[in-house]
Chains A and B, each alone.
Chain A
Amino acid sequence: MSKTLRPKVLVVGGGPGGYVAAIRAGQLGLETVLVEAERPGGTCLIKGCIPSKAIIHAAGLFEEMTRASSVAGHLGIRLETVPKLDLAATMRWKDGVVDKLTGGVAGLLRRAHVTVLNGWASFADAKSCAVETADGTVKIEPEHVILATGSVPVELPSMPFGGNILSSTEALSLTDLPRTLAVVGAGYIGLELGIAFAKLGVRVALVEVAERILPLYDEALTRPVADWLHKHDVEMHLQAKALGTSARGLDIETALSDRFTIPAEKILVTVGRKPRTEGWGLEKMAIEMEGRFIKIDERCATSTTNVWAIGDVTGEPMLAHRASAQGEMVAEIIAGKRRRFDPAAIPAICFTEPEIVSVGLDAPGEEHVVGQFPFMANGRALSMDAGDVGTFVRTIAEKNSGRIVGIQGVGKHISELAGEFVTLVEMGATLEDLAGIIHAHPTLGEATHESALKALGHAIHV
């Protein structure tokens, strides 16, 4: 049986870009079909942001309990015995969270009257798509196509995924805890998972080609994370190359050309992600590329009329919230609205220990003024045992206008401040604006307020 659908919009990929585009298109009354081979939710919901945050949370809890079970106890709390981890049960809890969210997305798609096809899409040309579903092939000839195929983890040629070599996806589904874990690539994914496993009691070793961890963030922001790793006996091999695996673990070569093997039961490879551009007929769509990515303009239009692309397949930063914003925008453009993608900033967060947030400009020049406030001087941070040395909020503003152009910070729980940071930048707030906003006491947000006062030269608490 073969039928042909001719919807207004076909969305390929049900991740945070695609499903948001589909829901918004549906809201706007456009007949919309979403094709997704797995459940809707994409990398983000099923094997990325959400499951990793669940594991990180559980790992944090486990670590605190472990500290409480030590002789000294923790904040006066002493557990008689060491906590026990049933990783399979933790994973079931995590899966429950994921299920709830993906189920929610499916419901939202239904409510927006989006037709969801469960299957693999392949294009014969830019406007003809066939989807292999359980019920047979469905042909789709849409007016508009939104490509939201996302990205996949990059493999190292010498160490293909499989067996003991894990991508982040497998790492988030382990049911047995390895005693040792080597992490190749100390970007945010490798660090988030590496730190979580370290908290769960795994001996973790990090291998990174660059000179320091999180090479995309400045050193002040990453230092507290490096301190944490150091304090928790996470082995760090910087400027080192992973060569391959042997029976005992991971073979590496250091900056000094020493070669040795890091004992590791499992090896997690997190050396980046690449756009998913293969296996669905992109080459038949006559679409211009920009390097590995699909080339788009400020409206997310590709070189082919009425073919749009959003999210990771279009380039950096590969972040779910960027994809969602683009998806929403493209749906509105198809519905006839005039839109363009012009965010003042796209926030980026590392859920490391401690967390890092970066919004907007992070390298101040001569024309900028910088105000930095340490969490050591913030009451709420101290009361949550989160006032670590070296953690702070930093606000960067233009000297002449006072306009805030960037805010960064590092500290426990700081990810929740990302919303205020990006709001200030997007709304075009000035230092005086931020200084004039009463921040509730006692909260971590007071550090943001004080950073503006600092930049204006009259911080109260430092």
Chain B
Amino acid sequence: MGRYLFRLPDVGEGVTEAEIVAWHVKPGDKIREDDNLADVMTDKATVEMTSPVDGTVTAVHGDVGAMLAVGAVLVELEVEGEGNAASAPLPPAGGDGGGPDIVQAQPEPAPSKPSPSPSRKREGDEVASTRKSVALPRVDIPIGRKEAFAAPATRRRAHELGIPLQFVPGTGPGGRILPSDLDDFIAAGGMTRAPGGLAVRTGGEEIKIVGLRRRIAEKMQEAKRRIPHIAYVEEVDVTELEALRVAMNAKPAEGQPKLTLLPFLIRALVRALPDFPEVNARFDDDAGVLHTSEGVHVGIATQTPGGLMVPVVRHAEAMSLAELAREITRLSVAARDGSAKREELSGSTITITSLGPLGGIATTPVINHPEVAIIGPNKIVEKPVVQGPFVGVRKVMNISSSFDHRIVDGYDAALFIQELKRLIEHPALIFMGDGA
């Protein structure tokens, strides 16, 4: 019998830590090779950690929600034969033997090696270095359950006071609402019914921000903190483009899916970007290096049940309208049903964010760090437009955009959007001398 330490492997792209989002094993479980041990979440993808060996789980490290450094021990196993570690059990967790510790220093980044050995020896170094998530009492608050979980007298008192018990956090066993919980709720101003008047709403929930929502929060925070955004909005006449799109959909070429505006917009970007190389880029501001890209990798901001995700259309410059349409559909479905692979969720060089019919008249989109530009088409509306001596009805759409002002000057941003406008308003320009 030997001891095998399963360490959080490098999950790619310079990721140095990952969040545990689900455990599939517990101490005592017998597992086979390739059984799923846990799900961890990196920047945007959830990755299944599968066991490389058969064995019995002897310990797991880190609660759901904990951040785990690459190379830290995730699972300890007992295996037939040698194993890969000394047989002395690990201390429970953390540096000085307490609960899982807060990471004091960032763990060593582990760029490429699958299982890096710690470069320095510290006491407890073998153990999962975890960062505790916001500590809330670990009870299931029965928010929204049909019947409240409380004794009859508590239910009666709450009803008399007009307090819906499902909004009162229970601290009793199993989340039971104790009389004192109701007292606390009232003391905290939770009364919801003004005598005789209209009801005052003072309920609220404590929602632990974990998983994808935490990723989004961190990402947005990072983008807004680091990047001085400059926003630019221009009105674009899409009458001709819409006519073309409608005509193409009315009599589709073989194998051509239904086209939305998005593939046309991407083709226009592909056409415009070579003249504005600094717009199609990633800015490593720590190193002070701008990495421009000839390939156009377009992130498509996508609303999923869990929140915002950005799957990436790679090498859009090499895709026809039909290919783009299919790829966008495939990626958004994958993002929504959670089957998107990690590499499909990273590596974009510019991002499009569109709210479709909810597009409004203008947005100030947040740049998908470390990119330098984001394009947000707004809603198409029919508008009276002055054309010479006449007023005509035209289909008009605003294009909102944000640029990293450190890289892109307002002047260049305006030039870029004006070029986009020129291409969209005269869609033939998009396709001239081009295989698409």
Contact of A433 with B by CB under 8 A: yes
Alpha-carbon gap, A340 to B163, bound state (A): 13
Stretch with Cβ within 8 A of A (4 or more), from B143-151, B265-273, B350-358: B143-151
Please state if A428 and B151 are interface contacts (CB–CB under 8 Å): yes
Which residues 161-203 of B have a CB within 8 angstroms of A?
162, 172-177
Complex Cα gap A342–B147 (Å): 8
B330 beta carbon closer than 8 Å to chain A: no
How many B residues touch the partner, as a band?
Answer: 10 to 19
B150 touches A428 (CB 8 A): yes
Task: Give bound CA distance, A403 to B176, whole Å.
Answer: 8
Chain A residues in the interface with B (C-beta under 8 A): 337-340, 342-344, 398, 400-403, 426-428, 430, 432-433
Q: Is B155 an interface residue (CB 8 A)?
A: yes
Give Cα A426 to B155, complex, Å: 10
Q: Chain B, 130-158, contact with A by CB distance < 8 Å: what is the 0/1 string?
A: 00000000001010000101111001100
Pairs across A and B, CB under 8 Å, 11 listed: A339-B156, A339-B160, A342-B147, A342-B155, A344-B147, A398-B174, A401-B175, A427-B151, A427-B152, A428-B150, A428-B174
The answer to whether A402 touches B155, judged by C-beta atoms less than 8 angstroms apart, is: no
Interface contact B152-A426, CB-CB below 8 Å: yes
Determine whether the beta carbon of A428 is less than 8 Å from that of B172. Answer: yes
Q: Give the CA-CA distance A400 to B140 in the complex, in Å.
A: 8
B315 interfacial contact with A, CB 8 Å: no
Query: Counting CB contacts under 8 A, is B24 at the interface?
Result: no
Query: Given A426-B151, A428-B150, does the pair A401, B160 have CB atoms closer than 8 Å?
Result: no
Contact B140 A401 (CB under 8 A): yes
| Residue from B156, B159, B176 in contact with A430 in the complex, judged by beta carbons closer than 8 Å | B176
A428 x B156 contact (CB < 8 A): no
* Residues in B neighbouring A339, C-beta threshold 8 A: 156, 159-160
Known A-B contacts A342-B147, A344-B147, A428-B150; the reply to A401 vs B159 at CB < 8 A is: no
Check A338–B159 contact: CB distance below 8 A.
Answer: yes
Residues on B with beta carbons closer than 8 Å to the beta carbon of A344? 147, 152
Q: Is the CB of A428 within 8 A of B159?
A: no
Q: CB-nearest residue of chain A relative to B160?
A: A338
- A340 & B159 in contact (Cβ 8 Å cutoff): yes
A427 to B160, CA, bound (A): 18
Shortest Cβ distance from A402 into B: residue: B174
Is the Cβ of A432 less than 8 Å from the Cβ of B173?
yes
Q: Is the CB of A430 within 8 A of B174?
A: yes
Closest 7 CB pairs of A and B: A401-B174, A430-B174, A428-B176, A427-B151, A430-B173, A403-B174, A338-B160
Q: How far is the CB of A200 from chain B (nearest CB, A)?
A: 41
CA distance A428 to B177 in the complex (A): 9
Instruction: Kindly report which residue of chain B lies nearest to residue A431, judged by CB atoms.
Output: B174
Q: Which residue of A lies closest to B161 (CB)?
A: A338
| Contact partners of A398 in chain B: CB under 8 A | 174
> In the docked arrangement, what's the CA distance between A433 and B151, Å?
14
Chain A proximity of B40: nearest CB distance (Å):
23
CA separation between A177 and B161, bound complex, in Å?
Answer: 58
Kindly report which residue of chain A lies nearest to residue B174, judged by CB atoms. A401
Which residue on A lies nearest to B165, using beta carbons?
Answer: A342
**Nearest Cβ distance between residue A69 and chain B, in whole angstroms?**
49
Distance in angstroms between the alpha carbons of A428 and B181 in the assembled complex = 14
Contacts of B140 in A (CB 8 A): 400-401
CA distance A192 to B58 in the complex (A): 56
Residues of A within 8 A of B173 (CB): 402, 430, 432-433
Inter-subunit contact A337/B155 (CB<8 Å): no
Q: Distance in Å from the Cβ of B69 to the closest Cβ of chain A? A: 30
Which residue of B is nearest A426, CB measured? B152
Bound CA–CA A398/B156 (angstroms): 23
Q: In the bound complex, how far is the Cα of B176 from the Cα of A426, in angstroms?
A: 11
Complex-state Cα separation, A402 to B172, whole angstroms: 12
